[in-house]
Amino acid sequence: MEAVLRALADESRRKVLEALANGEKTAGELGEMLPIARPGVSRHLRVLRDAGLVEVRQQAQRRIYSLRPQALAEVDEWLGRYRALWEQRLDALHTEIARGKHEQRSTR
């Protein structure tokens, strides 16, 4: 999970993942999306591959990348514990806001 979190920490790599969520892309197509030189794109793709977030297959002279959403499952499970905590707190905040609006209407 640590490698996945490190990979997700970079904005360029998140952009690549977002693009791959819409379907497979070649390395060239992914490179066109990022404002960096090709060697930088290759490094980002390697980090994503090493973290298990993407997989690559060779098709003639092209490398085709696709998303591996399974790699995000562990992170999602870990975040789930915190998600429940935040949902409780947001529900409590919503209740307090509604109570405050009700009290404002009552004093008018």
DSSP secondary structure string for all residues of 4-22: HHHHHTSHHHHHHHHHHHT
Instruction: Indicate if 54 and 80 belong to the same structural domain.
Output: no
Helix (H, G, I), strand (E, B), or coil: what is residue 36?
coil
d(CA 9, CA 77): 18
In 3D, which of 54, 81, 83, 84 has the Cα closest to residue 68? 54
CA 51 to chain centre: 13
Residues 49 and 12 in one domain: yes
13-69 pLDDT per residue, tens: 999 999 999 999 999 999 999 999 989 999 999 999 999 999 999 999 999 999 998
Domain limits for position 17: 2-68
Q: What is the CATH number of the domain that holds 20?
A: 1.10.10.10
| pLDDT-derived band at 105, boundaries 50, 70, 90 | confident
Sheet architecture: strand order including 62-67 = 25-26, 62-67, 54-59
* Domain identity same for 78 and 58: no
Do 106 and 90 belong together in one domain?
A: yes
More confident residue, 74 or 8: 8
For residue 95, is pLDDT > 90?
no
Nearest one of 67, 54, 71, 81 to 5, comparing CA atoms: 71
My answer on whether 80 and 53 are in the same domain is no
| 108 pLDDT above the threshold of 70 | no
Same domain for 41 and 62? Answer: yes
Q: What is the pLDDT of residues 81-93, one digit of tens each?
A: 888 888 888 888 8
